[in-house]
Amino acid sequence: MIEVNHLTKRYGNHTALSDLSFTIEKGQIYGFLGPNGAGKSTTMNIMTGCLAATSGEVKINGHDIFEEADEAKKLIGYLPELPPLYLDRTPKEYLTFVARAKKIPNSKLAEAIEHVMEVTQITDVADRLIKNLSKGYKQRVGIAQAILGDPEIIILDEPTVGLDPKQIIEIRDLILELGKEHTVILSSHILSEVQAICQTILIISKGKLVACDTPKNLERLFAGTATIDLTYEVPAADTSDITADLENILSNIPVKIAKTEVSEDGYASAILNTDTPADNNLCRDIFFAFSSANRAIVHMSMSKASLEDIFIELTSNDSITLSDEHDEKTETTKKEEDIDESSI
């Protein structure tokens, strides 16, 4: 289990993380979702001990990531957004180096390397130089180093960034397989990726946690955010104040009129919003209201909030300046350069 308590990270005057707290339970696939610059990578770098927090703490199975770094890091496998690959080595040579850095006993080293190469399906390129591999295979090598040593927790930062659709599907399938035996945490700004892989979603906006739940529960929570598209007949005499006319018809229906307009052919269209749980009964009530007013509905459709709608609503005010992003990446890079082989 991972406990993140009141985590704050500042870069000069910019606050990248603000009092961030959450818990990662064992045996699930978690997704960090947020716009670029929202704090996803910063959170992961702190969780893995690659970056110091301004304040707050991270505990891995009860071990503080900085106070008990050796014990905590043994439990983590980490793939940064830019995989730490040695391009002039082969995957087998690189994984041998990583295995020794992780202090895997020599008696188990060859078996451990063969196992991760088989799991990530890179055995057929084991003796090719990494610099000659495709982006997809490089990501697989990066994931292989993360799972080497069989850590309980695997943390993947943007694992499918820059991949083509086929490679994305392959990496997704690999992550799903890893999730059967490990706790997996991945960050992404791609909604479909998180929805397809993750059992729990954490949405971060401007360094703060704004939501944490399953995809279905998030959609259920925002189910009231529904939009109804309506087209109906309007008597010629009633076209002067179409909004007031519609308000009168729908006076007993829990909807808000967002937009109305009248066409030249005697029809009116309207966009209605509702803050109540949206279901088919709402459309039925609207139909009966129009029927009671002797009005004919030509078209009516209702769209409920999707994960994309929820994401946009929760992060609509999220922004980061170029200088903020540069400062964050610069400090992270400097910190990573100071980490010795024992932290791999």
User: Please, which residues have CB within 8 angstroms of residue 188's CB and are 6 or more apart in sequence?
Assistant: 31, 32, 33, 158, 159, 160, 194
Measured between alpha carbons, how far is residue 283 from residues 101, 254, 280 in Å?
Answer: 63, 11, 5
pLDDT at 223: 60
Q: What is the pLDDT of residue 239?
A: 59
Those residues whose C-beta lies under 8 Å from the C-beta of residue 67, and which sit 6 or more positions away, are: none
Residue 293 has pLDDT above 80, yes or no: yes
The CATH T-level fold of domain 2-75+152-220+312-343 is Rossmann fold (3.40.50)
Residues of the chain with CATH 3.30.70.1570: 223-304
How much is the average pLDDT of 237-243?
73
C-alpha distances out from residue 257 to 92, 200, 260, 326, Å: 63, 34, 7, 44
Phi then psi for residue 14, to 5 deg, are -95, 130
For residue 311, what pLDDT is reported? Answer: 80
What is the arithmetic mean of pLDDT over 230-248?
83
Position 264 scores a pLDDT of 77
Please tell me the distance from the alpha carbon of residue 141 to that of residue 133, in angstroms, as a whole number. Answer: 10
**Model confidence at 150: pLDDT above 60:** yes
3-state secondary structure of 343: helix
End-to-end Cα spacing for the chain: 20
Q: Is 307's pLDDT higher than 80?
A: no
E-only strand ranges, the chain: 2-11, 14-24, 29-33, 55-60, 63-64, 76-79, 153-157, 183-188, 200-205, 208-213, 226-233, 256-262, 267-274, 297-303
Convert the pLDDT of each residue in 189-227 to its tens digit: 778 888 889 999 999 999 999 999 998 888 777 665 678
Token pair listed for 228:
């109804």
Residue 329 has pLDDT above 60, yes or no: no
Residue carrying structure tokens 């505990």: 59
162 vs 62 pLDDT, higher one: 62
DSSP helix/strand/coil, 172: helix
Does residue 176 have a pLDDT over 80?
Answer: yes
CA distance 209 to 7: 11
- Specify whether the CB–CB gap between 128 and 90 falls below 8 A: yes
CA distance 78 to 169: 20
Strand partners, 200: 30
In this predicted structure, what is the pLDDT of residue 338? 44
Note the pLDDT tens digit of each residue in 75-97. Answer: 999 999 888 899 999 999 999 99
The pLDDT of residue 119 is 93
Average pLDDT for residues 151-177, to the nearest whole number? 91
Structure tokens at 240: 């002067």
Q: Which residue do the tokens 């940064």 mark? A: 80
What is the pLDDT of the chain when averaged over all its residues?
87
Q: Which of 51-55, 141-145, 216-220, 274-278 has the lowest mean pLDDT?
A: 274-278
Phi, psi at 321, each rounded to 5° = -80, 160
| Residue 276: per-residue pLDDT | 65
Residues of the chain with CATH 3.40.50.300: 2-75+152-220+312-343
Higher-confidence residue of 215 and 292: namely: 292
Mean pLDDT of 21-46: 92
Q: Write down the pTM of the prediction.
A: 0.72
- CATH number for the region 223-304 comes to 3.30.70.1570
